[in-house]
Amino acid sequence: MSSASFLRMVGRRNIREVAGDDHRRVRAMMARFLRLDAVKNYVSAMDDEVRRHLRAEWSGRAAVAVMPSMKSLTFDVMCTVLFGLERRGDHAAVRRELSSEFQQLVRGIWAVPVNLPFTTFGKCLAASRRGRRAVARIVEERRRAMMPRGGGDLVTHMLAEGMDEEEIIDNVVFLMVAAHDTTAVLLTFLLRHLDGNRAAYERVAAEQEAIATQRRRRGGSGSGSALTWDDLAGMRYTWAAAMETLRMVPPTFANMRKAVADVEVGGYVIPKGWQVITAATMTHLDPAIFPDPGRFEPARFEAAEAKAKAAPPFSYVPFGGGARVCPGNEFARAETLVAMHYIVTGFRWRLAAGCDGGFSRHPLPCPNQGLLLDIEPKEYNEL
């Protein structure tokens, strides 16, 4: 259930719009690519993309605008891992085209739906059409190359499941929107919060340096060997800091649901057919649930603390909840931890002069000046 602009940009048959059996079918198909045991196999490709990105966009620079950098990183990870788009040959051009069209498409999702050539909506709709044509070409290429039992990428898998072209394109476009901006926001605000919280930064740095040392001991040093799933399992405090960032700045501002029957909540009846919006910040910033909610305190999410002071069900909802809870949460976790490992072990950072560190929502949180950081390489890093 989405806005008119969202539907025009993304298409009517994406996973968010379908219900009942159709929703279960599409969700099960995506879950095969996003569940834990599948994500374990993506760690090495994520590792390669992160190092490649930091070498190209961070090494040798004195400052970096984090938000655009993280958007381009997460877009690349998604193209490689989910859609099997290579960096060479025809695919390189397709990646560039998709990246530029999708940046524009995303702006259109929140634009006033007035379709004229000079309005934001009109321009973004044109970008959406071009982006959809590029996805259609990928679908056609995969159809021609298809093995009888499907293949390793999501589009081939969708074809093997018997989805028609329109349904595939709508879902690929949705995933391209859902899978990269959200994680880019998380990474950006995690760096921002660590800059302002020395004690938390020191603990994240110590955890990541210890993992780097273990890798060197087992012979990974300089050899380009990738992080493993076990390495990620050891990044507990880093993930607690990420969860705390998601509490304070949830990338998705609100969730929408439609009542399929009359339902009573807290003494109020929501009649069938009404639409309900829930805002994560209502509970995330409630002092009765998270004491001193304005304080960045990753320990809230460390195992022992979290167990002692468990928040009530559905009060911590950066990934939503229920039958539609985000199926990409493990993917996002792995991607965030891999990126944090190389950023933290590779660089020191602080807010650049002139960057105020504030943000506004459009409706995803956008840091002012793209979050401009001064960066400095560490003496020893494994990029």
19 lies in the site for ligand HEM, by CB under 6 A: no
Query: Residue 331, interface with ligand HEM (CB under 6 A)?
Result: yes
User: φ, ψ for residue 374 (rounded to 5)?
Assistant: -80, 130
Partners of 366 in beta bridges: 360
The C-alpha atoms of residue 248 and residue 286 are separated, in whole angstroms, by: 11
Burial class (CB in 10 A: 0-12, 13-18, 19+), 119: middle
The contact mask relative to ligand HEM for 219-258 (x = CB under 6 A, - = no) is --------------------------------xx--x---
Residues 309-328 within binding reach of ligand HEM (CB under 6 A)? 318-322, 324-328
Member of 135, 154, 332, 340 binding ligand HEM (CB under 6 A): 332
- Give yes or no for residue 178 binding ligand HEM (CB under 6 A): yes
List the binding residues. Answer: 326
For residue 299, the number of C-alpha atoms closer than 13 Å in the C-beta half-sphere is 10
Among the listed residues 179, 211, 232, 383, the single contact to ligand HEM using CB under 6 A: 179
Q: Are 222 and 345 in contact (CB under 8 A)?
A: no
173 sits near ligand HEM (criterion: CB under 6 A): no
Helix (H) or strand (E) holding 365: strand 365-367
For residue 227, the minimal CB distance to ligand HEM (Å) is 18
Our CB check for ligand HEM shows the closer of 41 and 214 to be: 41
Closest CA to 382 of 228, 205, 221, 211: 221
Beta carbon of residue 43, minimum distance to ligand HEM (angstroms, whole number): 14
Q: Counting beta carbons within 10 angstroms of the beta carbon of residue 178, is it exposed (0 to 12), middle (13 to 18) or buried (19 or more)?
A: buried
Could you list the beta-strand ranges (E) of 191-305: 254-258, 263-265, 268-270, 275-279
67 near ligand HEM, judged by CB under 6 A:
no
Residues 22-61, mask of contacts with ligand HEM (x by CB under 6 A): -----x--x---x---------------------------
Which residues sit at the interface with ligand HEM, rule CB under 6 A?
Answer: 15-16, 27, 30, 34, 175, 178-179, 182-183, 186, 251-252, 255, 318-322, 324-328, 331-332
